[in-house]
Amino acid sequence: MLCYQKDYPRPQFVRKDWTSLNGIWDFGFDDSDEGETEGWYKSFHGEKEICVPFTYETKKSNLHEEEIHHFVWYTRRFQAEQAKLTRNKLLLHFEGSDFFTKVWINGQLAGVHEGGYSRFSFDITNLVTDGDNLVVVKVEDHLDPQQPRGKQRWISENFGCWYVQTTGIWKTVWMEYVPNYSLRSVKMTPNLPEGRLELEYTVDCPEAFDGRKLEVEAVVSFGGRFVTKALTAIAKNPTKISIDLEAAESDYPWGIRTWSPAEPSLYDISFLTRFNGEVWDEAGSYFGMREIRIEGPNILLNGAPLYQRLILDQGYWDESHLTPPDEEALIQDINKIHALGYNGLRKHQKTEDERFLYWCDVKGMLVWSEAPAAYVYSDRAVELFTKEWLDIVKQNYNHPSIITWTPINESWGVPQVKTNRTQQHFTEAIYHLTKSIDQYRPVIVNDGWEHTVSDIITLHDYEEAGEILKKRYTQYKDEIMTTEIYHSTSRSSFANGFSYKGQPVIISEFGGIAFDSDKEGWGYGNKVDTEEDFLKRFDSITTAIKEIPYVCGYCYTQVTDVQQEVNGLMDIRRNYKVDPERIKEINKRKVTYWRDELR
């Protein structure tokens, strides 16, 4: 896209004047939590060095210590230009820091943030001096199952499908100069049936609003060709407008370009903020015109039934864990998933680096966006989860590749949701809160089993034999779509008091075949010893699901091995374990149950 800058951390809202603060920082542990009392925020000098944004538990950090430390400190110097601050403010951004983060600039508190997966920013304009400045960061993290932690363990050793914890800064830290009169955010909603792009502006203005003074102009283009523009007077926050793309594209033979996996067409859009006619701020972005909706038992993309061939993607790397080693690694993952014949992925228990979503937008990869789970139910867990999830939804709303929100998985964090009305209320509340921000995308609560209110019914089943899997879901559909137990997990499809309403059905976890004869670890069912045995079982269960007439998609577990799990189609270093062409052929092979347009 025209706005693209390599390594820019927020590729859907791009400005030119920015600086990455990734790299070597001084670092130290504070196991007795004495740093604040001793004034480390004034002049902290760590005994260690760490490579940000990699956490101390990883090899990429240059430390690789997996022991648990609840309090960690960081510091580094950075340059500020006082001359720029007459027309600009200086913002310090953290894309992700786990879990409770406090930031000081030159010994003065800049702000605090609670949450491990959502981005946050601080205005440090009044705290910096011309030239050399000091930033000090303290991060507090605990093995607290009330925190949204995703796949991070909450005991001292790995177990099951939970892995080494992530402590502290794990995504990019950066700063940018932002004009005093500027666009703070824009919410972009494609309205394909009406041929319109709906925009919701929030601006920063240092004085009272006057619609004659402050304006935002949106300029839309496609492939370098001007399409349309809209100039809007801003008199309040937020300000909503609508751009008629259908009229603007009336001379183009096929009308509006739509986004889909087969043809991921994207429009460029730039936003110019003017005060008294002078351009103060310019931000570059892009959008995709696509519609995702439910119609009876089908999921429709741009009005046509969509069969989803998804794969579970946990986003872990050998030397950097949750943090991608670089942007090229993100691109490689998407390319390799496409090469395996999948048209989408379920980003599991993680809010991924936003550059990943950018490349999914560009390359046409469908994404289910999932929340990191807590593992107990309490008032504090509800509060922490709700705030962070709503932040994540707003943060990633504009990405056309995201077609489904998945806030809760397998009753994690709501262990008694089957029978407990309080926990059921929470799942219903999260569903409706998500819909209150995004009325268009499907929302799944709770993925895998024990559904309460949900736009799609998703089931997890790791049966090894394809013939058993097919028989179960073809002969016993009515029994499965109840509150009765449907397989060996001792779980039911619905929580008590809820029932099937004819929604689309997807088998959203299956497979998990362990295949790595040289490594200890686990998968689902029996481990296989040869590539042919793997392919035989993979073909059997995948084809079985494709032959279930009412199921409109599947999600295979998983992309890569992750630490003690050896059930990936690739190992943790992204080497294919089996021939990707044979996996692709099985995934894309036609079956008699589906009409052509469903493939």
The per-residue pLDDT for range 279-325, each reduced to its tens digit, is: 999 999 999 999 999 999 999 999 999 999 999 999 999 999 999 99
Residue given tokens 């059921």 in the structure block: 424
* Backbone φ and ψ of 541, nearest 5°: -80, -35
Cβ-based burial of 138 (10 A; exposed 0-12, middle 13-18, buried ≥19):
buried
Confidence of residue 503 (pLDDT cuts 50, 70, 90): very high
pLDDT tens column, 568-584: 999 999 999 999 999 99
Predicted pLDDT at 592: 57
pLDDT tens column, 423-466: 999 999 999 999 999 999 999 999 999 999 999 999 999 999 99
Predicted pLDDT at 211: 61
Predicted pLDDT at 459: 97
Q: From the CB of residue 479, how many other CB atoms can be counted at a distance below 10 Å?
A: 12
Average pLDDT over residues 23-34: 97
Average pLDDT over residues 367-383: 98
* 421 pLDDT more than 50: yes
Q: Judge contact between 584 and 340, C-beta under 8 A.
A: yes
pLDDT tens column, 157-212: 999 999 999 999 999 999 999 999 999 999 999 999 999 999 999 999 987 766 66
Residue 139 CB contacts under 8 Å (≥ 6 apart), including other chains: 71, 72, 73, 74, 97, 98, 99, 100, 101, 102, 167, 168, 169
Among 45-49, 129-133, 249-253, the least confident range: 249-253
Confidence of residue 357 (pLDDT cuts 50, 70, 90): very high
Q: Judge contact between 568 and 574, C-beta under 8 A.
A: no
pLDDT tens column, 92-117: 999 999 999 999 999 999 999 999 99
What is the rounded distance in angstroms from the CA atom of residue 312 to the CA atom of residue 526?
A: 20
Predicted pLDDT at 194: 96
Average confidence score pLDDT of the chain: 95
The residue among 359, 375, 178, 192 whose CA lies nearest residue 281 is 178
- Domains of the chain are 18-179 (2.60.120.260), 191-287 (2.60.40.10), 292-598 (3.20.20.80)
Do β-strands 214-222 and 267-275 pair in parallel, antiparallel, or remain unpaired? Answer: antiparallel
What is the rounded distance in angstroms from the CA atom of residue 270 to the CA atom of residue 282?
A: 7
The residue among 362, 361, 352 whose CA lies nearest residue 395 is 352
Q: Judge contact between 214 and 236, C-beta under 8 A.
A: no
Give the rounded percent of residues in the chain with a pLDDT score beyond 90: 92
* 329 pLDDT more than 90: yes
Predicted pLDDT at 596: 40
329-337's contacts with Cβ under 8 Å and 24+ in sequence apart are 329/574, 330/355, 330/356, 330/359, 331/359, 332/574, 333/559, 333/574, 334/359, 334/360, 334/363, 334/365, 335/363, 336/559, 336/570, 336/574, 336/576, 336/580, 337/311, 337/313, 337/365, 337/559
The residue among 213, 209, 204 whose CA lies nearest residue 183 is 204
Predicted pLDDT at 486: 81
* 520 pLDDT more than 90: no
Coil/strand/helix, residue 531: helix
Predicted pLDDT at 98: 97
Average pLDDT over residues 388-415: 98
The residue among 51, 587, 515 whose CA lies nearest residue 319 is 51
Written as one string, the DSSP assignment of 7-68 is: T-S-TTSB-S-EEE--EEEEEEE-TT--TTTTTHHHH---SEEEEETS-TTSGGGT----S-
Confidence of residue 595 (pLDDT cuts 50, 70, 90): very low
Residue 1 CB contacts under 8 Å (≥ 6 apart), including other chains: 11, 266, 268, 284, 286, 362
What is the rounded distance in angstroms from the CA atom of residue 518 to the CA atom of residue 279?
A: 62
Predicted pLDDT at 63: 97
Do β-strands 344-347 and 366-370 pair in parallel, antiparallel, or remain unpaired? Answer: parallel
Confidence of residue 599 (pLDDT cuts 50, 70, 90): very low
Give the rounded percent of residues in the chain with a pLDDT score beyond 70: 97
Predicted pLDDT at 597: 39
Q: Structure pTM?
A: 0.96
3-state helix, strand, coil in the chain (%, to 5): 20, 35, 45
* 518 pLDDT more than 90: no
Predicted pLDDT at 489: 78
> Strand pairing partners for 18?
176
